[in-house]
Amino acid sequence: MKIEKNIPDKYLKTYMEEDRPGSAELIAFPTSTEEVQEFVRDAVLQNKTIIPVGSQTGLTSATYPVDNAWLISLEHMNQIHDLDEQTMTLNVQAGVTLAQIRDYLADTPYFYAPDPGNKNASVGGTAGTNAGGMRAISYGVTRDNIRGYDVVLANGEKIHVGSLNKKDATGYDLKDLFIGAEGTLGIITEMQLKIMPRPAYEQSIIMGFASLNGVSNAIFEVVKSPIQPVALELLEESGIEYSEAFINQKMEKVEGEAFLLTTLVDNAPDGLAFQVKAIEELGRRAGATEVRELSPEEAVNMWLIRDNILNGVVAQGDWKMYDPVVPNHEFTDLVIKAKELGTKHRLQTAFFGHAGDGNIHICVMREDQSDEVWEDSKQAYEHDLFPYVSEVGGLLSAEHGVGLEKREYLPYFKDEAYMSVLRSIKSALDPDNRMNPGKMFEV
Ligand SMILES: Cc1cc2nc3c(=O)[nH]c(=O)nc-3n(C[C@H](O)[C@H](O)[C@H](O)COP(=O)(O)OP(=O)(O)OC[C@H]3O[C@@H](n4cnc5c(N)ncnc54)[C@H](O)[C@@H]3O)c2cc1C
């Protein structure tokens, strides 16, 4: 196994910690589960802490190295073993990226549903954060699309969780426990991913609205209708402009201030036509100023703009991002509140989000603020935002996780009794607090 003590800078940083590299003692690049086990056993013998690293596209500093930890990057575990049509699973190593899977399945009639914006993310990392993405409204999040996996525990033992069976009433559900655990309970190494037949026909549509309220009505109408879009995304001028500047490409002109971008799929042209007509009617009834069916080329362009909003935000300078989720009927009020807070705390904001899931991405931008003002305004923004989200029944994170960035706000959402159960699980599986310590919560 390749081990480096001279750690390349990129592993010491995260998206949110660009200027303040952390510290680690070494980084290992295993190629098999056995090597991961060997690494963990060594760390136990030498009493070292371990941080699992995927592709480092995470947005919560969950791979940020502290206390001379031992880093373990899964990027050399990048083999797609096989596609099993009998069980409709794809067997992969955890370092395989979403882009690799997309390309591998391109010549087959199948697809893997989770579709987070960054296709360089590893499947192990997306399991670590329980990533969501554009198609979660229809196909669920990462958790819903993993059938089983091997995980190396904090003592170096390996267990297999999940199974290829459709049902399971055989004791506690350990499969869902390690997903979303941000590497604090074990290292996922080999995975069986659920694949599905690719629908034959699809149509993307964009609807423009004069205000957010119209969008809200449309979202509400769509989610309670029998129409099941595979994506339903909110876009706003603020976010679109960052993306356009980043990819140097303009969005087709659509009348309105706020937009809903949706994709519908079906296996029969008639079925698709029925859905398209129905959703367009819903949009118009909710007050859409323009409803436009996109040609395949326009759709590619529009989704490229959507996928690159965050890249555009990253490129403009310092920023911070929040990904709260609220019950669907609270979605628009959350966006309005988040905007008002931007004005109150003098922070430039940009919004986009998985509208069908009640999940908004809020970006606040530093612009020319001094270090001190930037730190203070972010804190003040967060101290107003999160209690509000909690009050309306929402959650701290929909899909990016907690990591270091949101750790202090977990108590707004989970009471002491709940936190005590989390700590008991952590200490049962990792009594020495070896696995990614300090991420998500302090033991
Ligand atoms: C431009 C952009 C767009 C994005 N869009 C989305 C989006 O639409 N939806 C969304 O959900 N996220 C999105 N993200 C966030 C990010 O892509 C996800 O959080 C992704 O799941 C991280 O995967 P990774 O391989 O980069 O993991 P890393 O960032 O390397 O790690 C993330 C966490 O998983 C743990 N981990 C990594 N590998 C393993 C493993 N093998 N076993 C156990 N734990 C492990 C790490 O310790 C860490 O806690 C976006 C990020 C960017 C930069």
In-domain check, residue 389: yes
Determine contact, residues 362/369, Cβ cutoff 8 Å. Answer: no
CA 153 to centroid of ligand 1, rounded, Å: 20
Domain boundary among 309, 326, 345: 309
Confidence of residue 320 (pLDDT cuts 50, 70, 90): very high
* Ligand 1 pocket, mutate which of 10, 115, 118 (most atoms under 8 A from CB): 118
Which CATH number goes with the domain that contains 89?
Answer: 3.30.465.10
Residues 136, 86, single domain; the answer is yes
Burial readout 304-327 (b: 16 or more C-beta within 10 A, e: otherwise): ebbbbbbebbbebebbbbbbbbbe
Confidence of residue 429 (pLDDT cuts 50, 70, 90): very high
Residue with the nearest Cα to atom 5 of ligand 1? 117
What's residue 384's pLDDT?
97
* C-beta of 400 in contact with ligand 1 (< 6 A): yes
Residues 26, 93, single domain; the answer is no
Which CATH number goes with the domain that contains 356?
Answer: 3.30.70.2740
Determine contact, residues 355/219, Cβ cutoff 8 Å. Answer: yes
What's residue 337's pLDDT?
95
Interval 117-163: pLDDT, tens:
899 999 999 999 999 999 999 999 999 999 999 999 999 999 999 99
Burial readout 397-427 (b: 16 or more C-beta within 10 A, e: otherwise): bbbbbbbbbbbebbebbbeeeeeeeeeeebe
Residues 344, 323, single domain; the answer is yes
Domain boundary among 161, 182, 197: 197
Residue with the nearest Cα to atom 15 of ligand 1? 58
What's residue 215's pLDDT?
87
Q: Domain range for residue 67?
A: 2-73
Find the DSSP H helices in 179-320: 212-223, 237-247, 269-285, 296-307, 309-315
In-domain check, residue 442: no
Pairing of strands 258-266, 158-162: unpaired
Residue range 48-54: mean pLDDT, rounded:
98
Q: What are the φ/ψ torsions at residue 83 (nearest 5 degrees)? A: -105, 120
Interval 40-50: pLDDT, tens:
999 999 999 99
Domain count, the chain: 4
Among the atoms of ligand 1, which is closest to the Cα of residue 54?
Answer: 30
What whole-number percentage of the chain has pLDDT above 90?
Answer: 88
Residue 284 has pLDDT above 80, yes or no: yes
In-domain check, residue 419: no
Q: Which of left, alpha, beta for 161 (phi over 0: left; psi -120 to 50: alpha)? A: beta
* Ligand 1 pocket, mutate which of 33, 120, 129 (most atoms under 8 A from CB): 129
CA 226 to centroid of ligand 1, rounded, Å: 32
Query: Can you tell me the distance from the alpha carbon of 94 to that of 74, in angstroms, rounded to the nearest whole number?
Result: 7
Residues 123, 162, single domain; the answer is yes
Residues 283, 326, single domain; the answer is no
* C-beta of 133 in contact with ligand 1 (< 6 A): yes
CA 359 to centroid of ligand 1, rounded, Å: 17
Among the atoms of ligand 1, which is closest to the Cα of residue 398?
Answer: 11
Residue with the nearest Cα to atom 52 of ligand 1? 118
In-domain check, residue 423: no
Residue 26 pairs in a beta bridge with 70
Q: What is the CA radius of gyration of the chain?
A: 22
In-domain check, residue 184: yes
Residues 332, 380, single domain; the answer is yes
Query: Can you tell me the distance from the alpha carbon of 141 to that of 395, in angstroms, rounded to the nearest whole number?
Result: 16
Name the nearest CA neighbour of 61 among 16, 21, 103: 16
Start-to-end CA span in the chain (Å): 31
Domain boundary among 178, 197, 216: 197
Which CATH number goes with the domain that contains 217?
Answer: 3.30.70.2190
In-domain check, residue 420: no
Determine contact, residues 354/322, Cβ cutoff 8 Å. Answer: no
Single pTM value for the model: 0.95
Residues 279, 337, single domain; the answer is no
Residues 209, 233, single domain; the answer is yes
Determine contact, residues 261/235, Cβ cutoff 8 Å. Answer: yes
Q: What are the φ/ψ torsions at residue 248 (nearest 5 degrees)? A: 55, 50
Among the atoms of ligand 1, which is closest to the Cα of residue 401?
Answer: 19
- Coil, strand, or helix at residue 379? helix
Interval 196-224: pLDDT, tens:
999 999 999 999 999 887 888 899 889 88
CA 400 to centroid of ligand 1, rounded, Å: 7
DSSP code string of 289-308: SEEEEPPHHHHHHHHHHHHT
Interval 381-417: pLDDT, tens:
999 999 999 999 999 999 999 999 999 999 999 999 9
What's residue 253's pLDDT?
85
Name the nearest CA neighbour of 68 among 88, 43, 39: 43
Tell me the average pLDDT of the chain: 95
What's residue 89's pLDDT?
98
Residue range 56-70: mean pLDDT, rounded:
95
